[in-house]
Amino acid sequence: MPLNHTHDPAATSWLASANAAGGDFPLQNLPFAVFRRSGSAEPFRGGVAIGDQVLDLAALSRTEGLQGLAAQAARLCAQPVLNDFLALGSPAWQALRHALFALLHSTATSTTEALVRACLVPQSAVDYAVPTRIGDYTDFYTSIHHAHKVTQLVKPGEPITPNFQWLPIAYHGRASSIGVSGQTFRRPLGQAMAPGASAPVHGPCTRLDYELEIGVYIGPGNAQGEPVALEQAESHIFGVCLLNDWSARDIQFWEMAPLGPFLGKNFATTISPWIVTLEALAPYRLAWTPPAGAAQPLAYLDTASNRQAGALDISLEVWLDTAQRRASNDGLGCAPARLSRTSFKHQYWTVAQMVTHHTMGGCNLQSGDLLGSGTISGPGPAEAGAMIELTAGGRQPVTLAGGHGQPEQRAFLQDFDTVILTGWCEAPGRARIGFGECRGQVLPALNA
């Protein structure tokens, strides 16, 4: 996707909070979500983030501020889910984004500013919902660094499976348990086989983990039996979000013999509310190449454009907040502890390759479907995207930095822990593009 005027790092908005240094939502971003005012019975509807505000697209669609295709797109965003808007495709997405850019730009007239201000709602005063009706959810496994580390934990001395460098591995997850940031869920119950035991036990998960991922939203779908070629794959992708694929490791590793994840994964998945469009991420495209000495992809997973700019440089962090941290320092609390930092640029496969491989056998993706990238881990030990890596399978607990009182350690997640994912793109001479946060909390098991 070529750069255009909406990527100009010098562009500013008449809304002062959109111009604040280090903010997630400047004029160049304009991500989409579904929201309503907190504590109200209002219907959920689409909105766009600008500074510390949400631009209410339902309210805007009732004004004369938008025309043509942009007005049509905004009317579809006024619905409780964004599926119909996503199905319109990139011409409509771009028309609306460019029209909003003009309305919010510092050169807009005072009349335009007044019209748009009347449609703003403070982000501090809204609740969010899952932004699409997710018909299907597929979770990939595309970090070679994560694959290497977990393989050595589970099967020391063995290489990763040979198919990893030939195709984007994935499994179908559970759409019904996907929740938006702020989601709480109970520690899952299941079977687990302890090392050396002769029979499994049933009870609450004892090795609860998070997984740092990116979520990918499908725009227009494809007809059943008609694969999406790699050259067209990105036209089927609306944008991306943050995603936490919570994982019950003890349950997962017992049940994954010989089939894939089931109860170890289906109890909760948390996503951030904001969908950052591929157009907003255009300044942060990178070349994609397989590592030296690795297998070269088969022809259907290889194009010049994917090699030239298929990767995305998204910085990501994982933070942990605990009950002790929230209650410490004489009740004032202390900040969450950072567990790791990495980048999406380390993923072995691109989002376009994931879409193409997903459809290669004839699978029909639908508007609003969600794909997970799989755990995002970098090459260094501090770049792990899951606690199972950080703690060497629980054998080397991490000490949480920056707390007050008695130091805390974690081998895996404890009850009332809150995991917070953050993400952003930033580089000299480019506008910072933020993702907000993805926050979820573990509650005790139902019978605990």
* Six token digits for residue 219: 């725009």
**Residue with tokens 């759409």, as numbered in its chain:** 175
Is it the case that residue 224 has pLDDT exceeding 80?
A: yes
pLDDT digits (tens, 9 = 90+) for 361-393: 999 999 999 999 999 999 999 999 999 999 999
pLDDT of residue 206: 97
Q: Which residues are catalytic?
A: 146
- For the residues of 9-48, what is the DSSP string, one character each? TT--BSSGGGG-TT-S--TTT--EEEEEETT--PPPEEEE
Confidence band (pLDDT; 50, 70, 90) for 445? Answer: very high
Please give the Cα distance from 214 to 350 (Å, whole number).
Answer: 11
Read off the pLDDT band of 236 (50, 70, 90): very high
| Listed residue (349, 417, 345, 409) closest to 377, CA to CA | 345
- Assigned CATH for 137-443: 3.90.850.10
Tokens of 46: 């689409």
Q: Are 355 and 371 in contact (CB under 8 A)?
A: yes
**Residue pair 230/303 in contact by the 8 Å Cβ criterion:** yes
Please give the pLDDT value at position 448. Answer: 57
Alpha-carbon torsion (61, 46, 81, 285), positive or negative: positive
| pLDDT over 60 at 407, yes or no | yes
Give me the pLDDT at residue 291, please: 86
Q: What is the mean pLDDT of residues 3-19?
A: 98
Mean pLDDT across the stretch 225-234? 98
What is the mean predicted confidence (pLDDT) over 119-125?
98
Q: How far from 141 is each of 126, 162, 250, 291, 312, CA to CA, in Å?
A: 34, 13, 19, 17, 17
Mean pLDDT on 249-262: 94
The strand ranges marked E within 112-251 are 120-122, 126-129, 137-141, 169-172, 178-180, 183-186, 189-192, 201-204, 208-209, 212-218, 237-244, 247-248
On the question of pLDDT at 330 being above 80, the answer is: no
**pLDDT tens digits, 259-276:** 999 999 999 999 999 999
Whether pLDDT at 332 is above 60: yes
CA angle 443, 447, 448 (to 5 degrees): 60
Domains of the chain, by residue range, sit at 5-129, 137-443
Summarised one tens digit per residue, pLDDT across range 140-192 is: 999 999 999 999 998 999 999 999 999 999 999 999 999 999 999 999 999 99
- The tally of CA atoms less than 13 A away on the side-chain side of residue 151 is 14
| Residue-averaged pLDDT of the chain | 96
- Report H helices in 62-164: 68-77, 83-87, 90-104, 110-117, 144-154
Provide the whole-model pTM: 0.97
Per-residue pLDDT, 331: 60
Task: Decide yes or no: CATH 2.30.30.230 for domain 5-129.
Answer: yes
The number of angstroms, rounded, from the C-alpha of 228 to the middle of its chain's C-alpha atoms is 23
